[in-house]
Structures are given as C-alpha cells and as structure tokens.
Structure 1
Amino acid sequence: MTLLPDLQQLIDRAAGRHGVPGAAIAVGAGGELAEAATGVVNRNTGVEATPDSVFQIGSVTKVWTASLVMQLAAEGLVDLDEPVRRYLPEFGVLDESASVSVTVRQLLSHTGGFDGDLFEDTGRGDDAIDKLIAFMRANARQVHPPGAMFSYCNAGYCVLGALIARLRGTTWEAALRERMIEPLGVTQMALYAEEAVLFRAAAGHIGESQSVFPRWQLPQSNAPAGSTPCAAPRELVRLGRMFLADGVAEDGTRVLPAGTFEAMRTPQVTLPDMGPRPAYAWGLGLMIFDWNSVPLIGHDGGTPGQTTTWRIVPDRDVVAAVNVNGGPAWAFIDEVLTEVLEAVAGVKMPARVTPPTTPVPFRPVAGRYSVPLATYEVTPVDDGLEVTAIPKGFAAQVDGEVKTVRFLPLGGDRFVAAEPDEGVHPQIAFLQDGRYLYTTRAVPREE
C-alpha cells in the first residue's frame, strides 16, 4: 500500500487556498516515505519547487546542535550540569554571577536567563561565533536568574556552537558535517550560501506583496541556532528516523549513543500553559507535546519568509517535516499536518486558540517591555489590550514597521490576538504579576 497517495493533491489544494509561494513535505511511516512539493522556490525566477528543494530550516537546526552536545556528553567531554565556563572560559554575560553559574543543560533547555536574540553580524569568517561570544560579554543582559524559568534563547545555542567547536578543535559547521550529516547519509543539505546554490534553494517571501526577501543568508554568528542551514524535508525525516532507531542511521551507522533520544525528550522545564496545541515542556533541544494523550516531539524554525515544522510521533513510528517559503505558512501547515498525522498516525491535532465569542473578565496590564529585537508598549482598552511592537536592531532591518495588535483576554493572564497573523492567532501571557510579557521569550518590563 502506497503511503499517502493523495499527498500531492492535499498540498496543492492547501497552497492554493492559503496563497503560499511554495512548499515541500516529507512523511516517514515505518519503512515508507512519501514526498511532495508545490509552487515555486522563488517567485522572481519561477523555479518550480520539488521534493529535493532545500529550504532554510531555521531553529530546527537546534536539534542538530543539541545532538552534537549529547555526543560530547556521552564521550565524557562535557557534563551537562557543569558551568559552561568550565569548557568555554571566555563565555560571559553582563551579570558576572550568571556568567560563572550557567550550565550546559540550562542552555540546551532555554533556561540560561540572558538575552536570547543577539543577531550581531560578525562577518563570514570561521571566527564569527567567537566574535559573538565576545559581543555577549558586554551586551547580554540577564533577564531572569539561571534555571528560574523558560525563555527561548538563540544566543544560548550560539554558545553551545562555540563550545562544540572548541572541544572538537574545529568549526561548528565542520563538526556538524563530520559527526551528523555524513554519518546520517544526508545529501540535500547546505550550511553556507555557496553550498546552497548547488541545490534548488528556496527564497523567503515577505509582506502582503510576497516579495522575495533580499538577503538570503543571515549572520553566520548565529548558525548553531539556525541562521544558515537549509535542507530538504526528507533529510529532517531521516534525522527523525535516526532518533526513533535509538541513534542508528538507516545504513546501520551509530550516530548517537543508545538512550540519547530518551534523554533529550525528557522534560527539563514546563512552559506556561498556552492551551493544548503548543508544546507543554522543553527537553534537551526538543519541544514536547501532548496532543489528545499522544506524545509528540519536534521543533519549529523560521527565517524571514521561511517556516519549517518537524514532528516525531514516537509511539506510531512516524516523522513529518514541512517547509514553506512565505504567505500564511502556519495556516498551510495546520491544514496539511491535520490530515497527514491523522491518516498515518491516528493523531488528532488540537485546535489552535481563537478569540473568545463572549467577553472574558481580565485584569488590565500596562507597561513597556523590551528585548534586543523589539520594545512592546502595552495599553489597556475596553475589551482587552493593545500591544504596539517597535522593532529594533536586526528586526528593524527585516521589517521596520511599527505594528499595533489588539489582544483579547482568555482568562487568567493569557490573551489572544483579535486578528490572525500567518493564518493563526498569536497568544501572549503575563508572568510574575506582569513582570514579564511572555511570547515564548520572557520579555522584562522596563522599570
């Protein structure tokens, strides 16, 4: 029996409905693989998207980086509960007490507590990540005490990339290729723009006009967090199958020590409750879901105009990866994954949160919250809150538009956007009596 015989029609239909420029999907179930692609990789060139097209995978890269750290731990070169400075003495942030205490495990689980979005462009040399580490010492604020709470942290994974490079005596890219990409048998993957041009590489499309984002590669300093790698969805399925095989690649090569996947999927920190759809916990580089009592593991990724989602259903031996290069990407992904996961894994995806149909009582919140990429001005209105996002730094370079979004209360300290963005309604929450605005980042209130 052919796996998902109607997959092409499904993604063609979804792409037409949502107006995405191009997309590709791969689904592995047991020993079978189904693939399909739709649209174009670049509207300027009109080049057709195919199943072997490579898309920027964004933060799904963090799973690869975490795997490299777990290899070091298995070899006794890293103790996850030791301070990062034991292995990378030059690591530091503005808070000296945090600098000496942040552990490797905390970086893996996004609980290090310092500013997470430091997209400083330090050049294209092999020392790009080292220069970012130096930049952090004078620029990374401590947002919360190490280990106290979850706040998504790209910068922490850049530190892990530097740690990997130091202990392996090479670059992060070389270590990734030697110890993950080649042993896995991955072929449709690139780590640099000059490698990507050898493939049918997708460009991101942004804004209402869906114009091509003019900068293809983001700062190399953030590569271990996801700024540069691109891959075909089949390669993400290959990665997932290796995890399901307890660290063994399809040709029998052992890539990760036995038990690594179980360790990585063990919850390290519980996330704020944002409903049944988002991850409820984070492991060591992995998002952890419970969809209608079925456990799922995965990660999502985004670069300007490109979105990737990757899910493993361990109990059903299923892996799925979807790449989209613009438009209402999450609406497209929701429609496609809903049908795919129910068909091959019997998984019913929980519905996303939408605005309430009747008013919900709420406690007004006001204040100014700030992180390196944006300042958020929160103002109460009659039926909820208005949140004005003022982009800064790299975010201002990508899209400098100041946007005000109305959020409606869901109860407690949770709010949902009245209007959709990329086809879904974003949520926010306020933590610790309004001290933090939570957007997956813990954004501190300015005093």
Structure 2
Amino acid sequence: MDLQKWLDQAAERHGVPGAAVAVGTSDGGLVEAATGVVNRNTGVEADPDSVFQIGSVTKVWTASLVMQLVAEGLVELDAPVRRYLPEFGVVDEAATETVTVRQLLSHTGGFDGDLFEDTGRGDDALDKLLVFMRAEATQVHPPGAMFSYANSGYCVLGALVARLRGGTWESAMRERLIKPLGVTHLALGAEEAVLFRAAVGHLGDEQDVFTAWQLPRSNAPAGSTPCAAPRELVRLGRMFLADGLAADGTRVLPAGTFATMLEPQIMLPAPGDRYTARWGLGFMLSDWDGVPVVGHDGSTPGQTTCWRIVPDRGVVIAINANGGSAAALVDDVLTLVLAETAGIRVPARVVPPAEPAPFTQRSGGYEGPVARYQVDTVDGGLEITAIPKGWAAEMGEKPTTARYVALGDDRFVAAEPDEGVYPWVAFLAEGRYLYNGRAIPLVE
C-alpha cells in the first residue's frame, strides 16, 4: 500500500494544506502517512503524531459512554431522558417528558439540533446549556418521527453521562475510554492540544487560518473540542472489532455492545449508495459494494475527519484534513485504501444528471438555528440561498446561492461542486421540510 504517495497526490490535487491518515489492516498492522502543514502561518509540518479536530466522530465516544451506563443497568435506552437528567427540557412540554435516550443516540429527538451557545469554559458549561435549551430548543418534529442530525441531543447525552458518573463529560472520557484504551495522542480542549502538534483549520479561497480554534465547551460531547491523531481513531475502531476489548485485553465495552450499536434505528433519505442509508446507536451505517461499512464523519471550521470500519474485513481507516477540498481528498484516499485492504469499491457520489428529472416545484423559506434557506423554482431546477444566522454568522459565514438540479423523488443535487463534491438536498413530508442532514421546517 503506497499510502504516502496516495495522500501526497490527493492533497496537491485538492489544495489541502495538511492531512494525515492511519489504516488498521486485518492482520493487525498499522500504516500511517502525513503530508503538508498543520498551520500555513507557522509552516509546521504535519506528521502521524499531529492531532486534528475530529468533530462529530466524538459522538461515537459519547455513545460508548452511554452504552457503558446501559450495560451497568444505570440507563435504559427506551426510558425518558428526564428519568436520569431532570434538568433536561425543551420548549415543547410533551417532548420534554417523552424524549428517550435511544432517540437522542439516533438523532430522532426532534428538537433543534444546532444550539451552539457559548456558556463559558467552566465545568458547568453543559449545565448552563441545559438551561438555555429549555427556552430555546423548539420542536422540529415529534420525537421518533424522522431523522434530523442533532448536536444538541449529544450535548444532553454528555450531561447525562456527567450526572450519572459524578463528574464532567471530560472526566468520564478520560476514566472510561481514553485511559483503558491506552490512548496517548488525544486532547479534549485547547489546554491539552498545546501539548501536541495541533492542526488548525483553513478557510476560503485563500485558505486563511481559522483563528477561533477553540469552539464552545458546551458542545464538547457532540464534537466541538476534541482532537486526535488518526491512529487513536484506529485504536477505537479496533476495540469495536474486538467486541469491546482494548489492545491489552482490558474490557472497555461489554461483549455484544458493538452489534447493538449497529442495529438500524432509522432510515435516511439517501440519494445513492455512497451516502448513509441508516443510523444506529451512534453509528452511520452503509453498504458499499455489498459489504457493511460503518463509522462517522466529523467537521469543525476548516477541519474534516472521516472514520470507517469494515467489520467483515477487519479494516479501520481514519483520515484527517485541515482545509481545501477535503471531502474530495477523503474520497480519493478512501477509495484506494478500501480497494486494497478490504477489496471493496466505494460508490460514487451523486453528480448533476445530463438531463434533470421531472420534479415538483418548491418554493418558500425554511429556517433552523444556524441558517435560513430561501428556495425558489427556476428553469430546470431550484435556486437555494442560504443565509447564515446565529453562531454561523458569528463565525463569519456569508450568504450563498446555488442552483440545484432534480435527481428524482424530490432529491436535488447542486449544479456546481463545493469543496470538491456536489451537495444535495431533499424535500420531505410534501415539502414541509428541507433536508440536508437536518430536517429544516418550512416557515413561510
């Protein structure tokens, strides 16, 4: 496997400042590579020890902490969250009383998922977010009715873990996962990241350094703060492949937990085989080339992570990148690695069709916590303008307008690529929701 060559070429082809990859092979081997720099301003080179922000891959760590509680009989998956965390609440009183742990793990709780409120750096950051949610977390759909990706739900799960373990989410991570797994190159915040060769994100046409590196601690269980070297994500994946055992034989999760986490909980409106079709308890579930492939993706401003496990082939791969067309780099490297190590073909992403499919005209305003989307029908497709608000606007995101072409079945793909891939959207429930991973309600 010429991993270094593949990574070097992909980074150059897609304008990625720096990237790192680790591959755990079926024979127990570990292959690593790094390229470019962790920070264009300093010129510090990336190496296999470099730590990148892993974003939402953190959710699998949080889900694992919850599954430990389930195994100990301290939590029931189908019990209301308020049984264990009385402080939990959202605007909708019925949802407050009925949202379950399982629904939060599978992103079906139904309330606003992107509440990136900065509640400070103290150990009470999650507690303060819970207070904020009671007044601000509006209901998008009834609990359990559909999938809508929810960072906020994982923040609640982090608070639940902290409450039942008698500390913070961070202390539970260290005591229950990081230490028993033997992890060495992982940081839970900026105070720890400075001890490593830490990557920064790069944004825009000029690939400028994203200077607001530390995101709110209130969203740490969902992925706002952790960073890790790719090999540590391989280490986590191998624990799952070993049915809960760390490399030294320490039991981290009870036998059978991985299988439970891979049980499908909800179907997603995927436009093709490349995309996640089902969600488990913390895991994205796909079938590529007839083979189950599971894992999670993650992103923070200017940083991207892809983490995949091929359970039937014993392969784990983690890819990190810090800017440019990172998704295109991920596709290139992932395709080559999985072909060689697992013998499977990664399905292609959707692209604009030569001839648009017939479609239902859609128009109106759709709004969530971080953006408003204005949809208009134009000749041959749709025009969607995204207007950042709240946290996204504060981070400097600008309004964008893109043309979308009909794929059929109320799915649309952008006519032009964004960072090397073509975004797609769907309309659900007869147009009442614009779906882009989140179910965004029609407001007018």
Q: TM-score, normalised by structure 2?
A: 0.99
RMSD, matched Cα: 0.6
Partner of 2:144: 147
Q: Could you list the per-position Cα deviations for residues 140-193 of structure 1 after superposition, in whole angstroms to 9, with x for gaps in the alignment?
A: 000000000000000000000000000000000000010000000000000010
Q: Distance in 2 between matches of 1:400 and 1:163?
A: 32
Shift of residue 136, structure 1, vs aligned partner: 0.2
Partner of 1:339: 336
Partner of 1:15: 11
Q: Could you list the per-position Cα deviations for residues 207-258 of structure 1 after superposition, in whole angstroms to 9, with x for gaps in the alignment?
A: 1110000111100000000000000000000000000000000000000000
Is it true that 1:205 corresponds to 2:235 in the alignment? no
Partner of 2:270: 273
- Which of residues 234, 245, 249 is equivalent to 1:248? 245
Q: Could you list the per-position Cα deviations for residues 374-393 of structure 1 after superposition, in whole angstroms to 9, with x for gaps in the alignment?
A: 00000000010000000001
Amino acid in structure 2 at the alignment position of 1:28: G
Q: Distance in 2 between matches of 1:344 and 1:209?
A: 36
Partner of 1:433: 430
Partner of 1:348: 345
Q: Secondary structure of 1:45's partner?
A: coil
Q: Distance in 2 between matches of 1:352 and 1:68?
A: 33
Amino acid in structure 2 at the alignment position of 1:409: A
Is it true that 1:394 corresponds to 2:391 in the alignment? yes
Is it true that 1:181 corresponds to 2:178 in the alignment? yes
Is it true that 1:61 corresponds to 2:67 in the alignment? no
Q: Secondary structure of 1:10's partner?
A: helix
- Which of residues 129, 133, 149 is equivalent to 1:132? 129
Amino acid in structure 2 at the alignment position of 1:82: A
Q: Secondary structure of 2:225's partner?
A: coil
Amino acid in structure 1 at the alignment position of 2:404: F
Shift of residue 399, structure 1, vs aligned partner: 2.7
Amino acid in structure 2 at the alignment position of 1:379: D
* Structure 2 unmatched ranges of 5 or more: none
Q: Distance in 2 between matches of 1:138 and 1:343?
A: 51
Q: Could you list the per-position Cα deviations for residues 409-436 of structure 1 after superposition, in whole angstroms to 9, with x for gaps in the alignment?
A: 0012000000001100011000000000
Q: Distance in 1 between matches of 2:312 and 2:304?
A: 26
Q: TM-score, normalised by structure 1?
A: 0.99
Q: Distance in 2 between matches of 1:302 and 1:273?
A: 20
Q: Distance in 1 between matches of 2:7 and 2:112?
A: 38
Q: Could you list the per-position Cα deviations for residues 245-290 of structure 1 after superposition, in whole angstroms to 9, with x for gaps in the alignment?
A: 0000000000000000000011011111321111100000000001
Is it true that 1:25 corresponds to 2:21 in the alignment? yes
- The correspondence of residues 398-437 of structure 1 with structure 2, limited to 5 A, is 398-437=395-434
Q: Distance in 2 between matches of 1:114 and 1:171?
A: 24
Q: Could you list the per-position Cα deviations for residues 87-141 of structure 1 after superposition, in whole angstroms to 9, with x for gaps in the alignment?
A: 0001000000000000000000000000000000000000001100110000000
Q: Could you list the per-position Cα deviations for residues 56-82 of structure 1 after superposition, in whole angstroms to 9, with x for gaps in the alignment?
A: 000000000000000000000000100
Partner of 2:302: 305
Is it true that 1:120 corresponds to 2:106 in the alignment? no
Amino acid in structure 2 at the alignment position of 1:282: W
Q: Secondary structure of 2:38's partner?
A: strand
Q: Secondary structure of 1:307's partner?
A: strand
Q: Distance in 1 between matches of 2:355 and 2:374?
A: 26
Q: Secondary structure of 1:316's partner?
A: coil
Amino acid in structure 2 at the alignment position of 1:393: G
Q: Distance in 2 between matches of 1:211 and 1:130?
A: 34
Q: Distance in 2 between matches of 1:19 and 1:376?
A: 29
Q: Distance in 1 between matches of 2:396 and 2:425?
A: 21
Amino acid in structure 1 at the alignment position of 2:122: G
- The correspondence of residues 72-91 of structure 1 with structure 2, limited to 5 A, is 72-91=69-88
Percent of counterpart pairs with the same letter?
72
Runs of 4+ in 1 over 2 A off after TM superposition: none
Amino acid in structure 2 at the alignment position of 1:368: G
Q: Distance in 2 between matches of 1:119 and 1:400?
A: 15
Partner of 1:329: 326
Q: Distance in 2 between matches of 1:424 and 1:136?
A: 34
Is it true that 1:107 corresponds to 2:104 in the alignment? yes
Q: Distance in 2 between matches of 1:155 and 1:183?
A: 27
Q: Distance in 2 between matches of 1:223 and 1:267?
A: 25
Partner of 1:36: 33
- Which of residues 48, 53, 59 is equivalent to 2:45? 48
Amino acid in structure 2 at the alignment position of 1:291: W
Q: Distance in 2 between matches of 1:134 and 1:364?
A: 41
Q: Give the count of matched residue pairs.
A: 443
Amino acid in structure 2 at the alignment position of 1:441: R
* Structure 1 unmatched ranges of 5 or more: none
Amino acid in structure 2 at the alignment position of 1:299: H
Partner of 2:284: 287
Q: Distance in 1 between matches of 2:94 and 2:350?
A: 39
Q: Distance in 2 between matches of 1:433 and 1:213?
A: 39
Q: Secondary structure of 2:16's partner?
A: coil
Q: Distance in 1 between matches of 2:123 and 2:346?
A: 42
Partner of 2:215: 218
Q: Distance in 1 between matches of 2:93 and 2:439?
A: 20
